[in-house]
Amino acid sequence: MGAERQLAHAIILDSSIPAVYYNHGNALSAIGRCTDAIASYNRAIALKPDMAAAFCNRGNAQSRLGLLDEAVISYRSAVSLRNDLVEAHNNLGSVLLALGRNEEALGSFNAVLDIKPSHVGALNNRGNSFLALDQPNKALASYDRALTIESGSAEINNNRGMALQALGLLDEAIVSHSRAIELMPGFVKAYCDRSNARRRMGRPDLAIEDCERAFALRPDSAEAFNARGISLHDMLMFERALDDYDYAIKLMPLFAEAHNNRGNVLHDLGRSDEALESMRTALALKPRYAEAMNNMGMIFQDTRRFKEALSAYDAALEFKSGYKEAYKRRATLKLLQGQFHEGWKDYAVSMDRGRGVAPSSGDVPFWSGESLRGKSILLYERNGYGDTIQFFRYAREIVALGAKVTFVGAPRLVHLLATCAPQVRFLDAADIADEFDCQCDLWSLPRIFSSDLQSIPAEVPYLAANPQEVEFWREWLGTGYFNIGISWQGNPQRKIDSGRSIPLSAFAPLARTPGVRLISLQRNFGLDQLDCLPEGMSVVDPGSTFDSGPDAFRDTAALMMGLDLVVTSDTATAHLAGALARPTWVALKSVPEWRWLLDRPDSPWYPTMRIFRQKSKGNWPEVFEAMATRLATRVA
């Protein structure tokens, strides 16, 4: 007779012994009959209400059935009866973590470690809690402590890799994931997690290779399909990514992360209503899923549902305190709406200040507005050329405060930036040898200077082209035309370019205006469109040597000085034209980047700029017809 049948027989003989019901519950749970096990634990508890072990094991059975809220009640009852019950504290933490109640989960794991400091499972789980709370440094410390006790744990090595990924230490993360695979060659999740690190390093080929290895181990791995979908999504292969997410969900319908990722790619495909539905499904499966809530906010923002976007970002931060990506998204929303002080504050929280621009600057304090008289400061850029041009205007403000200023980054722009603030010293990151009193990134300067719509330092020009080169291009242009420089495309390999670039053919209404000549300012991407212009449209190409030297925008800046007008999409070209004080028209998508604000026809950053906005998503013809109408009055 099996153990379960023996215990059932014992109950028939005497139904008043709680231990018999308890043991019967354990036997039922061991053979997977969790519902029946819960009934037996309930009988044991009814007979002996202070039986902590019965509450704990009932929680285990409820957890296995997915009854997580009920499991929390059981575990809490167990630890209230016996605060030294390590298993109950640890399992309570695991369930709370699964529910997204990360702070509470952390408290449970700390309770385990108060009782048993060397509890490897709790150290690992505490690391998971810190990671969920967006505190990767603390997560890493917890994983490292666990590994001093159990260095051969594949799971903990892999989790350590995830903490390193969160810190941006991708090379080290790959080492940890690889160690996990070495310890457990069939560890599918480790392949998927290493795939993510390789993708973030710009190696989608290796990322997909890791997914293929995961498929070889488990062809029906939903996690591997999800991981490959993320890589394909990053490669802008949206339809293929969607196929992978759909298949992951087919394999695992309750896979919240796959539903979230599916929502992201649907949004990029312009299917926003379906994207929101996917996010709602993810949140139904995982109610405190901060990432899905944040992504829902992004979709609301991009569809001009701004109040709902703000509520979503607020909720994401409630779910996950300190969640930097949600702070960043909320910052962009507030900045877009002209709420600069609140926006800068949120953006400051979102920034990782744990590492300096170079190893020698890592211990240098960040400048937060204190006196700089007689002090040295290291400035650096975080993003692309457009941001660098936009925010370098503040270098002059810092020089005026009496600081000795060094700038690191954007070496191809130095020839232009030096005209803004000749007192600034420009260095490559590898050449930093000096000690500095403080450091600051360009993005933080508007906040530190308390810039708002009225106080932006908007004196232009603050950049200048080389006079000899300006004269060369003036002669090249000649006379007799109203010359318009045009730029239509950013880098299509970056998701941020989505919706910003414009088909060159959309500029045709400008070309039809009598007396107008279009001059290409486009470099790199989009030049192939010059070979397939609509009938009757012509664009003058300055030639293959245009801006082909080591300096970025050298020829572009000089040529702009001889143009009557610059018309551009949202690229660095717009910032350059504005900083040179050239008459500039910028064509923007319906919900642009924050810097262009909403609905207004001008820019507080660039006084010589006029903005033409899509009234509906993707409607460029309407934008350029409006431009052509205005251009006709200007040229006449």
Q: What is the pTM of this model?
A: 0.86
Query: What CA–CA distances, in Å, run from 215 to 160, 196, 222, 230, 445?
Result: 23, 15, 9, 15, 48
Token pair 């993003």: residue: 383
pLDDT for 511 beyond 90: yes
pLDDT for 212 beyond 80: yes
pLDDT for 358 beyond 70: no
Query: What CA–CA distances, in Å, run from 66 to 62, 70, 168, 577?
Result: 6, 9, 34, 59
Start-end of CATH 3.40.50.2000 domains in the chain? 467-635
Token pair 């020839």: residue: 415
Select the more confidently predicted residue: 491 or 353: 491
Q: Please tell me whether residue 426 adopts helix, strand or coil conformation.
A: strand
Task: Please give the share of the chain, as a percent, with pLDDT higher than 90.
Answer: 82
| Cα–Cα distance for residue pair 563/473, rounded to 1 Å | 9
Going by C-alpha positions, the residue among 555, 394, 383 that lies closest to residue 469 is 555
Burial of 615 (0-12, 13-18, 19+ CB in 10 A): exposed
Sign of CA dihedral 363, 106, 109, 91: negative
The pLDDT tens digits of the residues spanning 243-254 come to 999 999 999 999
Cis upstream peptide for 365 (omega within 30°): no
Do 240 and 227 contact (CB within 8 A), yes or no? no
Give DSSP secondary structure letters for 360-411: GGTTSPBP-S---TT-EEEEE--S-HHHHHHHTHHHHHHHHTT-EEEEES-G
The residues near 334 (Cβ < 8 Å, ≥ 6 apart) are 340, 342, 343, 346
Going by C-alpha positions, the residue among 634, 348, 375, 618 that lies closest to residue 506 is 618
Token pair 């490669």: residue: 235
Residue type, 78: A
| Per-residue pLDDT, 35 | 93
Give DSSP secondary structure letters for 450-488: T--TTTS---S--S---HHHHHHHHHHH-SSSEEEEEE-
CA angle, residues 150, 152, 154, in degrees to nearest 5: 110
Give DSSP secondary structure letters for 329-353: HHHHHHHHTT-HHHHHHHHHHHS--
Q: Please tell me whether residue 587 adopts helix, strand or coil conformation.
A: strand
Looking at residue 116, the DSSP 8-state letter turns out to be -
| Per-residue pLDDT, 450 | 95
| Per-residue pLDDT, 526 | 86
Token pair 């107008």: residue: 516
Task: Phi first, then psi: give them for residue 159, nearest 5 degrees.
Answer: -65, -35
Task: Please give the share of the chain, as a percent, with pLDDT higher than 70.
Answer: 96
The residues near 443 (Cβ < 8 Å, ≥ 6 apart) are 347, 351, 382, 383, 387, 391
Torsion of Cα atoms, 486 then 488 then 493 then 497, to 10°: 120
pLDDT for 355 beyond 60: no
pLDDT for 4 beyond 60: no
Do 143 and 160 contact (CB within 8 A), yes or no? yes
| Cα–Cα distance for residue pair 588/596, rounded to 1 Å | 8
The pLDDT tens digits of the residues spanning 172-197 come to 999 999 999 999 999 999 999 999 99
Do 416 and 561 contact (CB within 8 A), yes or no? no
| Cα–Cα distance for residue pair 306/314, rounded to 1 Å | 12
Q: Please tell me whether residue 440 adopts helix, strand or coil conformation.
A: strand
- Quick count: other Cβ atoms within 10 Å of Cβ 137? 12
| Per-residue pLDDT, 396 | 96
Query: What CA–CA distances, in Å, run from 101 to 90, 96, 130, 162, 168?
Result: 14, 5, 12, 20, 25
The pLDDT tens digits of the residues spanning 288-324 come to 899 999 999 999 999 999 999 999 999 999 998 889 9
Give DSSP secondary structure letters for 212-240: HHHHHH-TT-HHHHHHHHHHHHHTT-HHH
Q: Please tell me whether residue 567 adopts helix, strand or coil conformation.
A: strand
- The domain over range 359-448 is classified in CATH as 3.40.50: yes
| Per-residue pLDDT, 451 | 96
| Per-residue pLDDT, 7 | 46
| Per-residue pLDDT, 354 | 47
| Per-residue pLDDT, 136 | 93
Q: What is the CATH number of domain 467-635?
A: 3.40.50.2000
